[in-house]
Structure 1
Amino acid sequence: MGTPYILNSDRAMPNDFQLQQNSSTTNGNRENKAGVNVVFSFIPCFIFLYINCVMLYTLRSKPVFRETSRYLLLYNLLLAETLQMILAQMMFLLAAGLVFMTRLVCLLVVIPTIITTVTSPFSLAVMSLERYVAVCFPLRYACIVTVPTTYGAIAVVWAISIANMLIRVIMLTALDARPFGQFMGVNCAKSTLFQLKIFSEFEIGFVCAEFVSVGLIIILSYVGVMVAAKAASIDKVSANKASKTVLLHMIQLSLSLSSTLVNTIMKGLSGKLDMITFKIIWFVMFVLLITLPRCLSCLIYGFRDQMIRPILIQHLLLGMKWPNKLVSHLS
């Protein structure tokens, strides 16, 4: 039997499938293949990561961004998605380098991936509700959506994510008899750590509940905004912008859901295609369905928002002046 080469992931991680290496493959060939994989995966990740980090810096660079609820929610979403990209690349490097570890160390590596992947969808739900309140209850918006309540909503989102992680860890401790000090003979990943059938059943149930609840919140928010847009007393321009934003939230949620299907698709293709075609498909899906959605929020909000756009572009250009008076007004 050849040495199993597993590239694993959670929803934001590389895929849960095995690439079996023939025992006759030399160490040099393995290193070359791993090097090519790393290069092709690292380049788009580095670009998207740079954009996200600049966006995070931009959202902390001006008081107006630090004191406005919608920008605080955006910062929280971007932070979670940026951490997901970093973790995704780290897991890929561990898999490509065939780095094995004990179950305890693997658990410590997997825990943040579980937390951050749950945070993003619920953050989208809170952001949709914020737009709904802004359009449908403009007179009460300042009382309902405050900085303290925004931080409270963010805390609830992270609490749900942490609770989901703690349930998994408790189940692993109670149901899996293997010692945590045991050395794993395969790459560290969520699928190799949580191997019992009950974990996959729990995953399916939680993902379904998560996306149904978040999807309903976004859809209802969109319907509410669209209804309000038809009212004569509502600013139609603001309502139309809010409806487009909520619709983009639904697209983001759909992309996040699509990333959960990558593993299933790759498992179905495993053994049916030649290795080169298989790897090409995997890299395309990794970039389009796993890496790109993590940068979509930055592209949507950074370049659509008139307050963020000039400052973001200036920071992306490493300090070059952007000819827009809005930058000086926000200083």
Structure 2
Amino acid sequence: MADNNSLDGGESLRRQINDQVMIVQILVMIFLCINLLLIVTFFKKECFYTTTRYILFAVTLLSDSLMLFISDILLILSYFRFTMQVWLCVIISIFVVLCSVLTPVTLTAMTLERYVAICMPLHHGELCSTRRTVHCILIVHGISSVPCIVILSMFFASVSLSFYKQYQICSLEMFSVHVWQDHIRSAVQQFYFLVMCIIIVVAYIKIMKVAKAASGEDKKSTWKGLRTVVLHGFQLLLCLIQLLCPFIEAWILQINFMLFVQVRYFIYIMFFLSPRCLSPLIYGLRD
């Protein structure tokens, strides 16, 4: 009788996970379709691909789409317990780590662009030209690659060459061979998000002062930019909570496995998918 109950519980859990995976597939497909539509629209209108904020927005769309696609593939492979050689997982994980940092860094750059447009309107055309935007994109990618370089450097220094030929389930947890590596990775990410949060807050305060002093159409445009900064701050907050997720998952796993499955599913939807569906709402669908 106990064995039957145990079997029923296992089947129930298996069916529940399967339903959750299907829901994720539907959400990812919807977000990817919206992003693809906006990317096509971006290249069709000259006013979009010659404007700094929309160029940065397109970078965010491409980064989010790649992140959604790769993370969804890894989710499916992990669900079916599919293993791959470590060297292949390393290549895939480079894109995951880079895209996960690229989105908030680009959001910060977009916030600075709004700050320049509202608080320094006379210098906006010079500072936010198309050529300078290309330079900004290169800088953003360079800054975003630093955490990836740190994680991979620690990993390369901790494992032997034979380890890369082993077959394992691909996940970012694989790169934490020692506990101190988690601490360093968390410290780097927290530093990044602390700096970005400070930039968001300062830009918000500056734009708020301009909004109070503005009048007429300028006031309307300023408040619109202020709302955009607030939404960027909310996206960064969701991204910031991602830092705590591994610690929460590890703690819950020691308590109850079924609760761990539920919490991990909620975290993936709330703090990984949600921030990447807000960008189309902030810029794309609104404009």
Distance verdict in 2 for CA 1:200–1:281, change over 3 Å: closer
| AA of the residue aligned to 2:144 | S
Pairwise CA RMSD: 2.5
Worse-superposed segment, 153-162 or 263-272: 263-272
Q: Secondary structure at the match of 1:260?
A: coil
Match of 2:278 among 280, 293, 296: 296
Asked whether the 8 Å contact 1:49–1:295 carries over to 2, the reply is no
Match of 2:33 in 1: 50
Q: Quick one: percent identity of the two aligned structures?
A: 29
Distance verdict in 2 for CA 1:163–1:286, change over 3 Å: closer
Distance verdict in 2 for CA 1:169–1:285, change over 3 Å: closer
In 2: Cα distance, 1:33 partner to 1:251 partner: 31
Q: Secondary structure at the match of 1:140?
A: helix
Higher helix fraction: Structure 1 or Structure 2? 2
Gaps of 5+ in 1: 1-23, 306-331
Match of 1:147 among 113, 117, 130: 130
In 1: Cα distance, 2:157 partner to 2:253 partner: 33
Structure number with higher relative contact order (C-alpha < 8 Å, ≥ 6 residues apart):
1
Deviations 1:255-281 (CA, angstroms, capped at 9, x unpaired): 111233333323322253462x55344
Distance verdict in 2 for CA 1:284–1:190, change over 3 Å: closer
Match of 1:17 in 2: none
How many residues were matched structurally? Answer: 279
Deviation at 1:110, TM superposition (A): 0.8
1:252 aligns with 2:266: no
Distance verdict in 2 for CA 1:274–1:238, change over 3 Å: same
Match of 2:212 in 1: 230
In 2: Cα distance, 1:262 partner to 1:57 partner: 34
In 2: Cα distance, 1:62 partner to 1:180 partner: 49
Deviation at 1:293, TM superposition (A): 1.5
In 2: Cα distance, 1:180 partner to 1:63 partner: 50
In 1: Cα distance, 2:17 partner to 2:208 partner: 50
Match of 2:65 in 1: 82
Match of 1:122 in 2: 105
Deviation at 1:178, TM superposition (A): 5.5
Deviation at 1:136, TM superposition (A): 0.9
1:133 aligns with 2:116: yes
Match of 2:267 in 1: 285
Deviations 1:118-172 (CA, angstroms, capped at 9, x unpaired): 1111111110110000011111111111011111111111112223322332332
In 2: Cα distance, 1:145 partner to 1:181 partner: 44
| AA of the residue aligned to 1:223 | I
Asked whether the 8 Å contact 1:41–1:283 carries over to 2, the reply is no
Asked whether the 8 Å contact 1:84–1:117 carries over to 2, the reply is yes
In 2: Cα distance, 1:171 partner to 1:268 partner: 24
In 1: Cα distance, 2:83 partner to 2:75 partner: 13
Asked whether the 8 Å contact 1:100–1:188 carries over to 2, the reply is yes
In 2: Cα distance, 1:271 partner to 1:140 partner: 56
Deviation at 1:247, TM superposition (A): 0.9
| AA of the residue aligned to 1:124 | L
Match of 1:197 in 2: 179
In 1: Cα distance, 2:175 partner to 2:214 partner: 57
Alignment of 1:1-331 (within 5 A): 35-177=18-160, 179-184=162-167, 186-232=168-214, 235-273=218-256, 275=258, 278-305=260-287
Q: Secondary structure at the match of 1:129?
A: helix
Asked whether the 8 Å contact 1:81–1:116 carries over to 2, the reply is yes
Asked whether the 8 Å contact 1:122–1:157 carries over to 2, the reply is yes
| AA of the residue aligned to 1:44 | L
With normalisation by structure 1, the TM-score equals 0.77
In 1: Cα distance, 2:27 partner to 2:103 partner: 21
Q: Secondary structure at the match of 1:47?
A: helix
In 1: Cα distance, 2:249 partner to 2:150 partner: 28
Asked whether the 8 Å contact 2:189–2:243 carries over to 1, the reply is no
